[in-house]
Amino acid sequence: MSLIHKCRAQLIDIGRETAYTSWELIKITVPVIIFTKILAELGFIVVVSKVMEPLMGLVGLPGELGFVWATGMLTTLYGAIAAFAALAPALELSGAQVTILGAMLLIAHSLPVELIITKKAGAGLVPMAAIRLGGALVYGMLLYHLAELLQVWQEPAVIFFQAGDGGQGLAQWIEAQIINIGIIVVVIFCILVIMRLLRGLGVLALLEKLLSPVLPFFGMSHRAAPITVVGMIMGLAYGGALIIRETTTGVMEKREIFNSLALMSLCHGLVEDTLLMMAIGSKLAGILWGRLLFSLLLLYIIVRVSDYMRARTSPN
């Protein structure tokens, strides 16, 4: 088969995958868009913003973005993007603020689904929820204060998703949402192309090789480390499924199962989800490298505290 035919076959395959993925995500985003519009018209967004304002103020974000974060936690990242696109035009956001929001969404999103996955894999709902919610807030605060201290990302955010003027008519609003959905489809296509290229160039395999030797220092054996890396790159659902399969064999201890799931919960979808947040204007350093470093540091603290508590409670 010639190179042209191979490229054509790959593009057709990516096109099919884009259509399928887009349809699945449109089924989520369209209801969120409509729901957000109804809440905005009823003045409910203002109420939510006031309630969330003290919490979001800790990370330097306006209260309106609390609704975006809550939407992402209850639905998906695409649901959060839909809410963000509807609310962002009325807000004057900096690059730092969009990066903070993106980082918090990456750590804590799709909680109803993903917490069930980690529970089935062997971790408790409450500890995992606390790690993700607490981790998102702590990392958000760290990013906020670092950005203020170093005066980085203070320029106006470059936001690709727009919803138009708040005073527009219904027809114009619908047109703006159709454009936003079109942008989402284009973003999905680009992400799938990039993922294929990274896989073909061996970048994903290189990431696995770089991370695997490090993870045993964070309470994981050489059995758990490769599975954890796969989950961090491919996503929590995939990594959780591998953990569930391994637990049936009994070769992984409960402690390393918890540590593995904690790290995957804090830091998964390293490529695809990161690219998605970059599409709304988040900075790579904050949502990838900083998040990875923070996740490893937090897990290290969790492991050390757990070891200390175990040593104190164990009989001499």
Q: What is the DSSP string of 22-73?
A: HHHHHHHHHHHHHHHHHHHHHTHHHHHHHHHHHHHHTTT--THHHHHHHHHH
pLDDT band at 68 (very low <50, low <70, confident <90, very high): very high
Question: 149 or 33, which is more confident?
Answer: 149
CB atoms within 10 A of CB 169: 8
Mean per-residue pLDDT, 188-208: 75
Mean per-residue pLDDT, 146-161: 89
In the predicted model, what is the mean pLDDT of the chain?
83
Tell me, what's the pLDDT at 109?
93
Alpha helices in the chain (DSSP H): 3-42, 44-57, 64-74, 77-87, 95-107, 111-121, 125-150, 170-200, 203-211, 224-234, 236-249, 254-266, 272-278, 284, 290-313
pLDDT band at 3 (very low <50, low <70, confident <90, very high): low
The structure tokens 């990370």 sit at 59
What pLDDT, in 10s, does the model give residues 86-100? 888 778 899 999 999
Q: Greatest CA separation found in the chain?
A: 73
pLDDT band at 13 (very low <50, low <70, confident <90, very high): confident
How long, in residues, is the chain?
316
DSSP 236-273: HHHHHHHHHHHHHHT-S-HHHHHHHHHHHHHS--TTHH
Question: 238 or 259, which is more confident?
Answer: 259
Tell me, what's the pLDDT at 189?
80
Backbone angles phi, psi at 156, to 5 degrees: -55, 140
Tell me, what's the pLDDT at 163?
54
Question: 76 or 192, which is more confident?
Answer: 76
Type of residue numbered 272: E
pLDDT beyond 80 at 58: yes
Distance in angstroms between the alpha carbons of the first and the last residue of the chain: 69
Angle formed by the axes of helices 170-200 and 3-42, nearest 10°: 140
Residues 6+ apart with CB under 8 A from 67: 36, 39, 45, 48, 49, 52, 83, 87
What pLDDT, in 10s, does the model give residues 158-169? 876 655 545 557
Mean per-residue pLDDT, 187-215: 75
DSSP 155: S
pLDDT beyond 60 at 281: yes
pLDDT beyond 80 at 105: yes
What pLDDT, in 10s, does the model give residues 118-134? 888 888 899 999 999 99
pLDDT band at 298 (very low <50, low <70, confident <90, very high): very high
Tell me, what's the pLDDT at 59?
98
Mean per-residue pLDDT, 261-278: 90
CA distance 314 to 295: 28
